[in-house]
Structure 1
Amino acid sequence: MYTSAVWNVKEDHEDEFKRRWQESVDAASLEQPGIVFRLLRDVESPRRFTSNDGPWRGLNQISAMRNSSEFHASMASMEEHLDSYEISTWELVAEVS
């Protein structure tokens, strides 16, 4: 299982958003060993970011993380810097390396 989000950041808030996202995943990575957290920036639309995280063991692990007070606090700290965002959960159906 994987999680992702698309983050549309307010103008001139990009650096603060990146800082808040980094703080959020620094804490999450200690609680969720083995999960890789990535933040990517759209080169054609520099206020648009996506994050991709995983692999998670399953929906229970994702739900526990999303229901935690730490997750809610980190989301609140980022929301003031966002115009909008969308969070998704994905299952792996194919992989080539």
Structure 2
Amino acid sequence: MDVSVYTLGIWLVKPGHEDDFVKAWKDMADRTHKDYPGGRGLLMRDRDVPNRFISTGPWASLEQVEQWRASAAFTEGLASVRDIIEHFEPHTLDEAATIG
């Protein structure tokens, strides 16, 4: 896949719901992968703030990101975690430099 854009999400999960969030995120990512094959998603957990998670992934185009954010995979996935998150901050990023 030729990558032109990335998505990044910063998630603050209500304490005690971290495992529930990881499961729900994986469900959303699996559904997204079925609808948009060839992509890759990554969820990371902050070691210093264990209820903060960062998700990221590459996309082929801005149009694909916009389609995904309007899709049931995203909207229903977001709805499934709404009660267990304190904050969600979505970002759309362009590559500025690479090494290696």
Tell me the matched-pair count: 96
TM-score norm. by structure 2 comes to: 0.92
CA displacement, residues 4-30 of structure 1 (integer Å, 9 cap, x when unaligned): 000000010000000000000011111
**Structure 1 regions of 5+ residues with no counterpart?**
none
Alignment partner of 2:52 out of 42, 48, 53: 48
Query: How far 1:57 moved relative to its partner?
Result: 1.3
- Is residue 20 of structure 2 the alignment partner of residue 16 of structure 1? yes
- Runs of 4+ residues over 4 Å off in structure 1: none
CA displacement, residues 53-84 of structure 1 (integer Å, 9 cap, x when unaligned): 11x11110000000112211110001111000
- Is residue 70 of structure 2 the alignment partner of residue 67 of structure 1? yes
Aligned sequence identity (%): 32
Partners of 1:46 and 1:63 lie apart in 2 by 30
Partners of 1:70 and 1:2 lie apart in 2 by 17
**Structure 2 regions of 5+ residues with no counterpart?**
none
Please provide the CA RMSD for this pair. Answer: 0.8
Alignment partner of 1:57 out of 32, 56, 60: 60
Tell me the equivalent position of 1:96.
99
Alignment partner of 1:29 out of 21, 26, 33: 33
Partners of 2:88 and 2:79 lie apart in 1 by 12
TM-score norm. by structure 1 comes to: 0.95
